[in-house]
């Protein structure tokens, strides 16, 4: 299954073109209604106006303005002798968690090898609002299939909570059973290739995409029944707009005008090539994984409560024994 993380060759090409002053490096992946974030409060709002300036393509897209997608994350893996390489995109859902694609973790499930970078516009270009966080834990779906990319979802727990700024904000999560229509504008973003087998770009790119009904996506001449009901098709019939290698794990997001908020509806997963006719990007349908996500977040809350209770009773036990010793 052709995922959308970058090949090592593409990665080395990117590194060879990097400015000498850049110390970090990256590797990239392929393609990567509303419940409010359980742990974040306000969500889905951009603090910086986006002029949608024309520039480098995501495939039919353009370069994004700095701060246009403040929940966009660069997920990077450490390579000995090289440094951190951008492997996949991700989406910030609250101060402690990032959603991405499970296939991005095929290189390693060791959280010690990963970090998440927030507030990036140009890869490897640190600014006053760039935030780096090590990863404490990675959950991938128990039923993730490496061959078909079914259940291609992963949750990264950060070692230290994020402090929001103008360029780092969480997105809202979409869980409505009502279908989204073509009238609702939806977007993808990432640092992936500008065309199939092409070069990557350091500048974050964006593109508006159309949601394509599964009946069409699974029809003859398209994916011919191979796309699961747990996925979303998005792009265009012509292939003019698409995600590509290096975009895996990144967001498929839609703007609800009546709420003036952006909602995460999908995670970039895979596709047949990049920008090919009748081969749109395939995205994990986040609404199908609401229970899975809540179970992981609630597990974290339960663990914290248990930890705090253990500390509380330990302190009580020590205090009672200490007072007994004093009285004796």
Residues acting as catalytic residues: 103, 152, 248
Question: With left for phi above 0 and alpha for psi between -120 and 50, is residue 149 left, alpha or beta?
Answer: left
Q: Which residues are CB-neighbours of 81 under 8 A, at least 6 positions away?
A: none
How far apart are the two ends of the chain, measured CA to CA in Å?
Answer: 72
Q: Which residues are CB-neighbours of 187 under 8 A, at least 6 positions away?
A: 69, 206, 207, 208, 209, 251, 252, 253, 254, 255
Q: What's the number of CA atoms in the CB half-sphere (13 Å) around residue 214?
A: 13
Pick the closest to residue 55 from 201, 188, 274 (CA basis): 201
């Amino acid at each position: 299954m052709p995922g959308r993380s970058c090949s090592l060759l593409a990665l080395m090409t990117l590194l060879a073109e990097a400015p000498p002053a850049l110390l970090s490096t990256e590797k990239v992946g392929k393609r990567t209604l509303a419940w409010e974030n359980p742990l974040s409060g306000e969500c889905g709002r951009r603090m910086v106006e986006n002029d949608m300036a024309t520039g480098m393509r995501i495939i039919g897209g353009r370069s994004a303005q700095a701060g246009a997608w403040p929940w966009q994350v660069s997920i990077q893996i450490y390579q000995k002798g090289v440094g951190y390489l951008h492997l996949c995109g991700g989406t910030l859902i609250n101060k402690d968690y990032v959603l991405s694609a499970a296939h991005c973790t095929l290189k390693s499930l060791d959280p010690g090898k990963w970090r998440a970078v927030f507030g990036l516009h140009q890869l490897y270009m640190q600014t006053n609002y760039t935030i780096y966080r090590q990863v404490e834990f990675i959950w991938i779906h128990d039923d993730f299939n490496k061959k078909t990319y079914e259940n291609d979802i992963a949750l990264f727990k950060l070692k230290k909570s994020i402090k929001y700024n103008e360029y780092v904000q969480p997105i809202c999560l979409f869980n409505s059973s009502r279908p989204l229509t073509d009238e609702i504008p939806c977007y993808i973003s990432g640092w992936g290739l500008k065309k199939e087998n092409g070069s990557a770009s350091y500048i974050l790119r964006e593109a508006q995409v159309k949601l394509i009904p599964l009946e069409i996506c699974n029809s003859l001449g398209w994916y011919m029944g191979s796309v699961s009901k747990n996925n979303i098709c998005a792009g265009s019939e012509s292939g003019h707009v698409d995600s590509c290698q290096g975009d895996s794990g990144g967001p498929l997001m839609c703007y609800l005008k009546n709420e003036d908020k952006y909602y995460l509806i999908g995670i970039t997963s895979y596709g047949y090539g990049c920008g090919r006719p009748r081969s749109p990007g395939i995205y994990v349908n986040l609404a199908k994984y609401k229970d899975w996500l809540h179970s992981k977040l609630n597990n974290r809350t339960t663990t914290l409560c248990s930890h705090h209770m253990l500390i509380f009773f330990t302190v009580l036990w020590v205090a009672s024994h200490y007072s007994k010793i004093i009285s004796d």
